[in-house]
Amino acid sequence: LAKELGHDRLLPLAFDIRDEAARAGAVADLPADWAGVDLLVNNAGLALGTQPAPEAELANWSTMIDTNVSALVSITRALLPRLVERRGAIVNLSSVAATYPYAGGNVYGATKAFVRQFSLGLRSDLHGTGVRVTSIEPGMVETEFTAVRTGSQDASDTLYAGADPMTGADIAETIWWVATLPRHLNINTLELMPVSQSFAGFQVARA
């Protein structure tokens, strides 16, 4: 990115988004030239485990909540005054899992439903400020997501094989489109899937 954009246009800050002190320090210590924030993209998030709820590890649930929910609301709250001052925009990465539950999606889906509802709540609270808020809700995207979730690159390769899934670049282009729309336009929620994916059917347990 530094080669592409130039070193004067990139300020990388590497820290664990769950670390409250590091998070607060990163915001407080921004150099003057970087302190005016126009756009916040909350992209940090993960799923851990695929077990049904009775078998799931509580530590995995806690990590997902800490990352997908607590860290997201904390960094958003820290930057809101700057975003209001500059009539900026917030793009939160949710998921189709916020709307369509699936076996093993339990807490991950719940965190993404929170992100969607939090985005709508922000829209309501920021009424009249000019700040735009969008919840982007992708379906199948081939990234490191599944390898992290399962701990297996083979499982990831199997899931995406032959599916022609969306790519990280597809989502980045979507975020760019939303962020660069005229200031009087707001995309509230945007759900997108690859053509190969559609809504799951209902489950029926038979005796």
What's the rounded mean pLDDT across residues 97-117?
96
The reply to whether 160 belongs to the active site is: no
What's the rounded mean pLDDT across residues 108-114?
98
Position 200 pLDDT exceeds 80: no
Q: What does DSSP assign to residue 33?
A: G
Please list, residue by residue across 57-70, b when 16 or more beta carbons sit within 10 angstroms of its beta carbon and e when fewer do: eeebbebbbbbbbe
| CA-based nearest residue to 171, from 196, 135, 204 | 135
pLDDT tens by residue, 173-196? 999 999 999 999 999 999 999 999
| CA-based nearest residue to 188, from 122, 129, 105 | 122
Domain boundaries, the chain: 37-192
Q: What class does CATH assign to 37-192? A: alpha beta
pLDDT score, position 207: 87
Rg (alpha carbons) of the chain, rounded to whole number = 18
Taking all residues of the chain, what is their mean pLDDT, rounded to a whole number? 94
pLDDT tens by residue, 114-159? 999 999 999 999 999 999 999 999 999 999 989 999 999 999 999 9
First to last CA, the chain: 57
pLDDT-above-70 percentage for the chain: 100
Using CA atoms, how far apart are residues 155 and 139, in angstroms rounded to an integer? 17
pTM of the model: 0.93
Task: Return the axis-axis angle of helices 106-125 and 58-65, rounded to nearest 10°.
Answer: 20
pLDDT tens by residue, 33-87? 999 999 999 998 999 999 999 999 999 999 999 999 999 999 999 999 999 999 9
List Cβ<8 Å contacts ≥24 apart for 160-164: 163/194, 163/196, 163/197, 164/194, 164/195, 164/196
Position 2 pLDDT exceeds 90: no
CB contact set of 116 (below 8 Å; sequence gap of 6+): 92, 94, 98, 99, 135, 137, 189
Catalytically annotated residue among 100, 102, 108, 160: 108
The confidence band for 203, taking pLDDT boundaries of 50, 70 and 90, is: confident
DSSP assignments along 88-102, one per residue: -EEEEE--GGGTS--
